[in-house]
Structure 1
Amino acid sequence: MTLAIFDLDNTLIAGDSDHAWGQFLADKGIVNAEEYEKANDQFYQDYLSGKLDMTRYLEFSLAPLAAHPMTSLLQWREQFVNERIKPLMLNKAEALVRSHREQGHYILIITATNRFVTEPIAELLGVDHLIATDPEIIDNRYTGAISGIPSFKEGKVTRLNNWLKEQQYSLEGSYFYSDSHNDLPLLEIVDTPVAVDADEKLTSHAMQNNWKIISLR
């Protein structure tokens, strides 16, 4: 089975779903807008520069999930997807996913963004499987902690390798599409790494290594 693996944010959609969710919470008054926006923007800049403290970020980003009941969260998430995510969907990205599916490939998204935010987006894109950072749930309530290893940087490789062992799949013939230098650990181990609307650092690395460079915008 050939795997076609995709990053999500700024790769398959024209924006960052994690940052957009934080902005949505602030805009709706669910969190303290001024304080939350400032921190959310700073964490996003840290991510872009490769300096993100993932532990601190997850404490920040999962706190609103722990503060509210599941019924409210699911209602807000549906509104978020309709208002903020659907406008970010890319025709070329959907066509690329469809092309891989027509070739009989298994479609996998692997993202550092948490599963609560990304699961409905993966469903919209019609992928076979999603690997995301998993927030801990006890008694149908988020705790603010995570379950397992965050799928970020080297953690993406660990999570993918664990899944490959469970499914008895391999990376033979595999593709991985990403926009971010944070994904270099995973890009380095697939057969066909592809830089998609990539940041400066990834673009430079891709050019030096003769990787394919594309745009889905």
Structure 2
Amino acid sequence: MTGSPSTVAAFFDMDRTVVLCNTGRVYVQDMRSRGEIGFMQMLRLSTILFRYKLSMIDMNRVMVHAANALEGQTEDFLEGRCEKIFDERVRQTVSSAAVEAIEGHRRLGHKVVLLSASTNYMVAPLCKLLNMDDFISTRLETAEGKFTGDYVQPMCYGKGKIHWAREYADEHLIDLPNSYFYTDSYSDLPMLMEVGNKRVVNPDPRLRLHATIKRWPVLHFER
């Protein structure tokens, strides 16, 4: 690898990579336990999340519906709820192997950055817990502390991750061809192609096949 360590970033996806759960599913389960949604609603949302992991759904349409559902709700409410869910349900699934990888990059002088399709309300607690340098995530639009029912485009998903990663790289003088990206999802293939060092972690079937064909490193992060 060439280039100064200070110009290299290690980007990490969150779900099934740094944490060994799907935080969207955890959030839905929490809503169900509070009686906020019925069984059929939970089943429908779980199906959407499953199709998302297989890259079989238009996530921008899903995000529109999710943002609309929060219109008028306070940002403080969602922030507090996500912090509580993180502490009670997500923190315990943090992968020790992921933590070791993060610390390894930190020792090399690399920036360590979470890069996730989840909203900042779920990503921020993990970033803080692991003392990572920064995070890039999907952001909901707010006005005067309340959600407007829209989100900041593009969503940090698929090619949208490239958009936000490039913007971050320009701002922080990061050399993407010398940087790293750790992910489990085939939907992140565009971002994997953007960096010079691909790290496939606990891959879904489509990404595993692609990684095998391309002879990319495949890692297994466990608790």
Kindly state the Cα deviation for residue 12 of structure 1 after the two structures are TM-superposed. Answer: 0.6
Aligned to 1:102: 107
Kindly state the Cα deviation for residue 79 of structure 1 after the two structures are TM-superposed. Answer: 1.8
Q: 2:17 aligns with which of 6, 11, 34?
A: 11
Aligned to 1:158: 163
Kindly state the Cα deviation for residue 70 of structure 1 after the two structures are TM-superposed. Answer: 3.5
Counterpart contact for 1:110–1:130, Cα < 8 Å: yes
Structure 2 residues not aligned, in runs of 5+: 1-6
| Cα distance in structure 1, aligned partners of 2:66 and 2:28 | 7
Counterpart contact for 1:27–1:33, Cα < 8 Å: no
In terms of mean alpha carbon deviation, does 76-85 or 148-157 score higher? 76-85
In terms of mean alpha carbon deviation, does 39-48 or 134-143 score higher? 39-48
Structure 1 residues not aligned, in runs of 5+: none
In terms of mean alpha carbon deviation, does 85-94 or 179-188 score higher? 85-94
| Cα distance in structure 2, aligned partners of 1:172 and 1:185 | 13
Q: Deviations over 1:37-62 (max 9, x none)?
A: 12211211211221121122113333
| Cα distance in structure 1, aligned partners of 2:89 and 2:70 | 18
Counterpart contact for 2:19–2:95, Cα < 8 Å: yes
Rate the CA distance shift 1:58–1:80 in 2: closer, same or farther, 3 A. Answer: same
Aligned-residue sequence identity (percent) comes to 24
Instruction: Give the TM-score of the pair, scaled to structure 1.
Output: 0.92
Q: Match of 1:92, SS? A: helix
Q: Deviations over 1:114-144 (max 9, x none)?
A: 1122111221122111110110011001122
Aligned to 1:176: 181
| Cα distance in structure 1, aligned partners of 2:118 and 2:64 | 13
Rate the CA distance shift 1:101–1:2 in 2: closer, same or farther, 3 A. Answer: same
| Amino acid in the other structure paired with 1:54 | M
Rate the CA distance shift 1:185–1:179 in 2: closer, same or farther, 3 A. Answer: same
Aligned to 2:41: 36
Q: Match of 1:112, SS? A: strand
| Cα distance in structure 1, aligned partners of 2:74 and 2:219 | 41
| Cα distance in structure 2, aligned partners of 1:71 and 1:157 | 29
Counterpart contact for 1:19–1:41, Cα < 8 Å: yes
Aligned to 2:3: none
| Cα distance in structure 2, aligned partners of 1:208 and 1:188 | 14
Q: Match of 1:149, SS? A: coil
Instruction: Give the TM-score of the pair, scaled to structure 2.
Output: 0.90
| Cα distance in structure 2, aligned partners of 1:108 and 1:139 | 28
Taking the TM superposition and a 5 Å limit, the aligned residue runs for 1:54-93 are 54-66=59-71, 68-93=73-98
Rate the CA distance shift 1:122–1:33 in 2: closer, same or farther, 3 A. Answer: farther
Paired residues, what number? Answer: 216
| Larger RCO: 1 or 2 (CA < 8 Å, sep 6+) | 2
In terms of mean alpha carbon deviation, does 13-22 or 73-82 score higher? 73-82
| Cα distance in structure 2, aligned partners of 1:76 and 1:7 | 22
| Cα distance in structure 2, aligned partners of 1:65 and 1:120 | 20
